Chain A
Amino acid sequence: MLSNTGITLVILTTLLSALIIYKSFTELHIENNFINKKIFNLVTFQTTFSILSFFVLIAGFVISDFSLINVYENSHTKKPFFYKVSGAWGSHEGSLLLWINILVIFSFLFLVFTKHNNKSYLLYTLIFQNFLILGFLIFLLINSNPFSKIYPIPIEGLGLNPILQDPALAIHPPLLYIGFVGSSIYFSAGIASLISNCRDKFFAKSIKPWVLISWSFQTLGITAGSIWAYYELGWGGFWFWDPVENASLMPWFVITALMHSVIVLEKRNSIYSWVIILCLLTFTISVTGTFLVRSGILNSVHTFANDPSRGLYILIFLSLMIFLALAAFFRYSKKEEYNFLLKSKETLILANNWFMFFFLTSVMIGTLYPIILEVLNDTKISVGPPFYSAVIFPFVIPFLIFMAIGPKINWIKNKYSRILSNFYILIASIFLNLLVYFIFGKYSIISNLIIISSIFLIIHSIKDFFIFFKKKNESDISRIVSHLGFGMLILFIGISHNFTVENDFNLKVGEEKKFSGYQINFNSVRMENEKNYKKIIGEFKLVNLKSNLEEILYPEIRIYDQPETLTYEASIKTKLSADTYLTMSNISRSDYYNIKFQNKPFMIWIWISAILIASGGFIRLIKIKMQ
């Protein structure tokens, strides 16, 4: 029943997309200034059907309708309700339906909220957006249908991979998809802008909110993914420069560049072509990332979601998209005049783009090079964290300094006082860095420089914050919040990276271990039953020998039945000053357990900083809404 309803709704959505394209084309030839009500109605119906189809899928998961293959493969009656719902987008098929929903919803919202009287610009955007929708719907119907049936109907489902049963991961795909897929709307709008000749300021104004929404959500999505990795994967890290993580970071670099450039277009009517390139590139890179993840070309922790046959379709679709984008760009773009001064805001925003493209190229080459080399040369290499630290980290230093002084370059006219105040701030940063040095101990020169420059940015942002409260009109609070967040992010990553205390040893119940100013006692183990798993809980007493603080930690080993899997749950005690992180794992045929201990300074501040970065985007969005 659900299967038929779902498929019917998806087919209706598909037909409506085709109809919208047809109607919009005919509407283009009618010379008036308003869009036919019929088109609005069609888009409303399309959105309704699409959302309904997604609810049908969720309903299938909630009532555990195992006549749907997708539910059978990814759910189980004993699974908690929350993870039944999130199971709807936990699989490839379900997440594709989510992807399509976001395409459709953004198309609807763009049409409703863009107060713009350029009719052909709106219609062309709608047409290209619906081509994208159609493309993914066809992919869903012929290759990845979440409503496919299975017969005979199984009594019980196979269950969802236990490491995916986590709140941070459950919300991670929707957040990331709003970012990824949200960028589709300015892909379509970019092409529409070229064709309809609706350029410059108007174009910048119309895409700006969508850029902000997708950027903010993508920032949150990446953060949620990192938090999940930190809590769930049990190695205490949150970013491994894993190819799939890189696939989410690459579009972020481009959106960040776009978010800055769009300001130049809006304020100075310049670099239009560059903004268009960024618009087209963001969604292209998002789809490329999806292709890399879903095709299984990449070797990573995310391989639960891949299948080579899917890759081909995405690859063909991607090629078509790139071809369309390039064709439109070269056919319609015009030569531009540039009016840049060396010490202007525009130039500094270009500097931002320059760094973003350097980061993008580094991550891209690091991700793709091993694949290319293996094909060409049959040599397998690994490109991991040490590569990115070596290539990217040194350039974070000038980047942070640009971030600090860039935003003010126009406003402060008195050159001498500016240099002097920068000098004072630099001295203060070096002083604070020395403080870090004395509290935590020595670290490398490059880390010193990174910490100094991040403090430099933080002080600058705090200073701007005070200026903002004195004269509200002269600075931009959203920028200050995001830049402050970024400075803090780098500072706290730097500190936690350099001063994590970690150790790894084997213990039996009753034993104790002393190291680096800590003592760990293995008190006991016990077994407990939960709804859908059994767990072995260890009790450890941790004593900080310097401060004599005691903590009791309870790491777990979970044994899931459906599917049968072992997972290791870290026991994490979060404080504002540091996290203590303990995992235990059994050693086969032995009474010993392998214990991994980490003390990570300022971990929670890393998440706070990341959320601060994203909130800058939301603040600006609210400001645009209020104007």
Chain B
Amino acid sequence: MKKIIFIIIFSLNFFNLNSDEKTKLHFEIYKNIRCLVCQGQSIADSNSEFAQTVKLVVKDKINEGKSEKEIYEFLISKYGEWIVYKPQFNKNNFLLWFFPYLALIFGAIIIYALIKKKENNKVN
């Protein structure tokens, strides 16, 4: 426990050198990661030790030169899909991603049909 806190404090001071851009990227990533021990919060919003630890992991990975996507994949392999707020595009989730657009197309067809009808009526 004490060790973790020590690491956190140490690393936070150490990373003072980060540019604004980097801080912004960090926060963007934090906001997409669920704090697993909290009630519906991202690690950016939480003060829990879990959140602090994952934040450190993310920072380390960025310094190692990993991309955003690689970081998410790493976290998913460790904690499962539950941890990311943006569901992956895979076999399980494709309906989630497609359904809204299906509804959009369906709506367009209905409206098109309604307008079309009128033109037919006109001819008649």
Interface residues of A (CB under 8 A from B): 233-237, 240, 242-243, 299-301, 303, 337-342, 347, 350-351, 353-354, 357-358, 361-362, 365-366, 369, 373, 377, 379-387, 390-391, 395, 501-506, 513, 515-516, 568, 585, 587-590, 592, 594
Q: How far is the CB of B79 from chain A (nearest CB, A)?
A: 10
B63 at the interface (CB under 8 A from A): no
- Extra pairs beyond A354-B111, A357-B103 (7, CB < 8 Å): A236-B45, A341-B118, A380-B80, A381-B92, A382-B87, A384-B34, A391-B100
The distance in angstroms between the C-alpha atoms of A395 and B95, with both chains bound, is 19
**Are the C-beta atoms of B107 and A383 separated by less than 8 Å?**
no
B64 at the interface (CB under 8 A from A): no
Q: Which of B1, B39, B46 has the most CB of A within 10 A?
A: B39
With both beta carbons as reference points, the residue of chain B lying nearest to A591 in the complex is identified as B9
**Are the C-beta atoms of A235 and B45 separated by less than 8 Å?**
yes
The interface residues of chain B lying within 8 Å CB-to-CB of A365 are 95-96, 99-100
User: What are 16 residue pairs bridging A and B, where the CB atoms are less than 8 Å apart in the complex?
Assistant: A301-B39, A303-B39, A337-B121, A341-B115, A347-B111, A358-B107, A365-B95, A373-B93, A379-B92, A380-B82, A381-B82, A386-B86, A395-B104, A505-B12, A515-B16, A589-B1
Say whether, besides A235-B44, A240-B40, A365-B99, A382 and B23 are in contact (CB < 8 Å).
no
**Are the C-beta atoms of B114 and A338 separated by less than 8 Å?**
yes
**Are the C-beta atoms of B86 and A339 separated by less than 8 Å?**
no
Say whether, besides A303-B39, A358-B104, A381 and B23 are in contact (CB < 8 Å).
no
The interface residues of chain A lying within 8 Å CB-to-CB of B84 are 382
B85 at the interface (CB under 8 A from A): yes
Say whether, besides A235-B44, A301-B39, A377-B92, A358 and B87 are in contact (CB < 8 Å).
no
With both beta carbons as reference points, the residue of chain A lying nearest to B1 in the complex is identified as A589
**Are the C-beta atoms of A369 and B95 separated by less than 8 Å?**
yes
Q: CB-defined interface of B37-53 with A at 8 Å, one 1/0 digit per residue?
A: 00111101111000010
Find A299's partner among B1, B39, B117 (CB 8 Å cutoff). Answer: B39
**Are the C-beta atoms of A301 and B42 separated by less than 8 Å?**
no
Q: How far is the CB of A122 from chain B (nearest CB, A)?
A: 32
Q: How far is the CB of A606 from chain B (nearest CB, A)?
A: 18
Q: Which of A384, A588, A589 has the most CB of B within 10 A?
A: A384
With both beta carbons as reference points, the residue of chain B lying nearest to A501 in the complex is identified as B20
Say whether, besides A300-B39, A589-B1, A590-B5, A382 and B103 are in contact (CB < 8 Å).
no
With both beta carbons as reference points, the residue of chain B lying nearest to A341 in the complex is identified as B118
Q: Which of B8, B55, B80, B86 has the most CB of A within 10 A?
A: B86
**Are the C-beta atoms of A237 and B81 separated by less than 8 Å?**
no
The distance in angstroms between the C-alpha atoms of A377 and B81, with both chains bound, is 13
Q: CB-defined interface of B13-39 with A at 8 Å, one 1/0 digit per residue?
A: 000100010010001000110100001
Say whether, besides A300-B39, A516-B23, A587 and B5 are in contact (CB < 8 Å).
yes
B2 at the interface (CB under 8 A from A): yes
**Are the C-beta atoms of B85 and A589 separated by less than 8 Å?**
no
Q: How far is the CB of A571 from chain B (nearest CB, A)?
A: 16
Say whether, besides A235-B41, A382-B34, A387 and B85 are in contact (CB < 8 Å).
yes
Q: How far is the CB of A565 from chain B (nearest CB, A)?
A: 13
B108 at the interface (CB under 8 A from A): yes
The interface residues of chain B lying within 8 Å CB-to-CB of A357 are 103, 107
The distance in angstroms between the C-alpha atoms of A390 and B93, with both chains bound, is 15
The distance in angstroms between the C-alpha atoms of A348 and B98, with both chains bound, is 25
Find B32's partner among A358, A362, A369, A386 (CB 8 Å cutoff). Answer: A386
The distance in angstroms between the C-alpha atoms of A342 and B45, with both chains bound, is 48
The interface residues of chain B lying within 8 Å CB-to-CB of A516 are 20, 23
The distance in angstroms between the C-alpha atoms of A504 and B96, with both chains bound, is 33
Say whether, besides A358-B100, A365-B96, A506 and B114 are in contact (CB < 8 Å).
no
**Are the C-beta atoms of A381 and B87 separated by less than 8 Å?**
yes
With both beta carbons as reference points, the residue of chain A lying nearest to B46 in the complex is identified as A235
Report B40-82 residues with CB < 8 Å from chain A CB: 40-42, 44-47, 52, 55, 80-82
The distance in angstroms between the C-alpha atoms of A354 and B87, with both chains bound, is 26
With both beta carbons as reference points, the residue of chain A lying nearest to B95 in the complex is identified as A369
The interface residues of chain B lying within 8 Å CB-to-CB of A390 are 86
The distance in angstroms between the C-alpha atoms of A544 and B81, with both chains bound, is 40
The interface residues of chain A lying within 8 Å CB-to-CB of B44 are 235, 504
**Are the C-beta atoms of B111 and A351 separated by less than 8 Å?**
yes
With both beta carbons as reference points, the residue of chain A lying nearest to B47 in the complex is identified as A585
Q: How far is the CB of A505 from chain B (nearest CB, A)?
A: 5
